[in-house]
């Protein structure tokens, strides 16, 4: 009798717990990075209008691409009258960074039984803001509920910003210059302080510095591949340096 009842009831409680963690993830919509991103999307809708996109196109773009730099680049190539293949190349080049971003989150997020289809679906909601959010917070969430937690945050963030684009299109044509400047600056300074504050491994700090220095430098040398070179080159250099440091620390430890 007890066993008969135990199964379905336990399943129900489990489901409620997943839902609870989904809701906790949703609450992240009021966090500082989420608010900054929303302001950026108000700016995006003004840019889309200015560039000749319709409301529907701007909304569809936000929901289907969900990467602000890629959206800006696509609008840029479209207004420039570039052929489809050229637009594809420009956007895909800027989106290569998604691969290591998503890959670095996966081992933390999934359990052994998480279906790949669920992860493929959820990966759409991963962009810089949710990457920073996940890097910082997943650790404090019980592993079993991390997928639900990330889904709660990621999906809510994407849908809210899609709604923001739909509503603010045509309403806000531009911010006063000083406010626009402050809003624009919020994104980078937020990333700088939050990524540094959440960096626990030394290798992340070295990669942080390498990326900051190489990003603008590479932009001068190889404007089309700058982020790619800075990321692959800077990240690999940081990894090798850190590996050397660990090896010598180990040798010193063994020698002592």
Partner 1 sequence: MFDSWWTYLVIIVAGFLATDVWRWLGVLAGNRLNEESESLLWVRAVATALVMAVTAKLIVFPTGTLSHSPLWLRLGAAGIGFAVFLAAGRRVAVGVSVPITLLVIGLWWLG
Question: Scanning residues 3 to 32, which ones bind partner 1 (CB under 8 A)?
Answer: 32
Asked if 107 touches partner 1 (CB under 8 A), the answer is yes
Interaction with partner 1 in 211-230: which residues (CB under 8 A)?
211-216, 218-219, 226-228, 230
Q: Which of 130, 125, 21 minimizes the C-alpha distance to 64?
A: 125
d(CA 141, CA 138): 5
Rank residues 160 and 187 by Cβ distance to partner 1 and give the closer one. 187
d(CA 13, CA 2): 16
Quick one: which segment of 8-16, 84-92, 159-167, 248-256 binds partner 1 (CB under 8 A)?
Answer: 84-92
In angstroms, what CA-CA distances link 230 with 7, 193, 220? 52, 20, 12
Asked if 105 touches partner 1 (CB under 8 A), the answer is yes
Rank residues 20 and 31 by Cβ distance to partner 1 and give the closer one. 31
Choose which of 55, 95, 166, 172 interacts with partner 1 (CB under 8 A).
95
Q: Let me know: does 129 contact 33? Beta carbons within 8 Å.
A: yes
Interaction with partner 1 in 164-203: which residues (CB under 8 A)?
177-178, 180-182, 184-197, 199, 201, 203
d(CA 73, CA 33): 22
Query: Burial code of 17-33, b = ≥16 C-beta within 10 A, e = fewer?
Result: ebeebbebbbebbebeb
Asked if 108 touches partner 1 (CB under 8 A), the answer is yes
Q: How far is the CB of 71 from partner 1 (least distance, A)?
A: 7
- For residue 253, with 0-12 CB atoms within 10 Å meaning exposed, 13-18 middle and 19 or more buried, which class applies? exposed
Q: Which of 98, 149, 104 minimizes the C-alpha distance to 124?
A: 98
Asked if 236 touches partner 1 (CB under 8 A), the answer is yes
Instruction: Pull the structure tokens for residue 80.
Output: 């420039």
Rank residues 20 and 123 by Cβ distance to partner 1 and give the closer one. 123
- For residue 231, with 0-12 CB atoms within 10 Å meaning exposed, 13-18 middle and 19 or more buried, which class applies? buried
Interaction with partner 1 in 53-82: which residues (CB under 8 A)?
53-54, 57, 60-61, 64-67, 69-72, 74, 77-79
Choose which of 18, 24, 110, 144 interacts with partner 1 (CB under 8 A).
110
Choose which of 34, 42, 91, 151 interacts with partner 1 (CB under 8 A).
91
Q: How many residues does the chain have?
A: 256
DSSP-assigned letter for residue 31:
S
Q: How far is the CB of 15 from partner 1 (least distance, A)?
A: 24
Choose which of 5, 84, 254, 256 interacts with partner 1 (CB under 8 A).
84
Asked if 40 touches partner 1 (CB under 8 A), the answer is no
Q: How far is the CB of 18 from partner 1 (least distance, A)?
A: 20
Q: How far is the CB of 4 from partner 1 (least distance, A)?
A: 37
């Amino acid at each position: 009798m007890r066993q008969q009842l135990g199964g379905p009831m336990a399943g129900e409680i489990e489901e409620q717990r997943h839902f609870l963690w989904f809701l906790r993830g949703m609450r992240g919509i009021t966090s500082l990075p989420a608010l900054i991103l929303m302001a950026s999307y108000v700016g995006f809708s003004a840019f889309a209008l200015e560039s000749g996109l319709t409301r529907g196109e701007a909304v569809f773009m936000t929901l289907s691409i969900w990467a602000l730099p890629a959206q800006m680049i696509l609008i840029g190539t479209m207004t420039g009258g570039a052929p489809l293949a050229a637009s594809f190349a420009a956007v895909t080049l800027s989106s290569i960074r998604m691969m290591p971003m998503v890959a670095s989150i996966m081992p933390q997020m999934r359990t052994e039984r998480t279906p790949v289809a669920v992860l493929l679906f959820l990966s759409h909601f991963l962009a810089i803001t949710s990457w920073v959010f996940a890097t910082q917070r997943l650790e404090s969430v019980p592993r079993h509920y991390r997928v639900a937690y990330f889904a709660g945050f990621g999906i809510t963030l994407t849908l809210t910003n899609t709604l923001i684009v739909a509503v603010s299109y045509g309403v806000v044509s531009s911010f006063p210059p000083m406010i626009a400047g402050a809003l624009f600056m919020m994104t980078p300074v937020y990333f700088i302080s939050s990524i540094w504050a959440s960096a626990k491994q030394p290798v992340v700090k070295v990669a942080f510095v390498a990326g900051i220095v190489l990003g603008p430098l590479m932009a001068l040398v190889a404007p089309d591949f700058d982020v790619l070179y800075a990321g692959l080159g800077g990240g690999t250099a940081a990894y090798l340096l850190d590996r050397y440091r660990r090896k010598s620390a180990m040798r010193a430890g063994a020698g002592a």
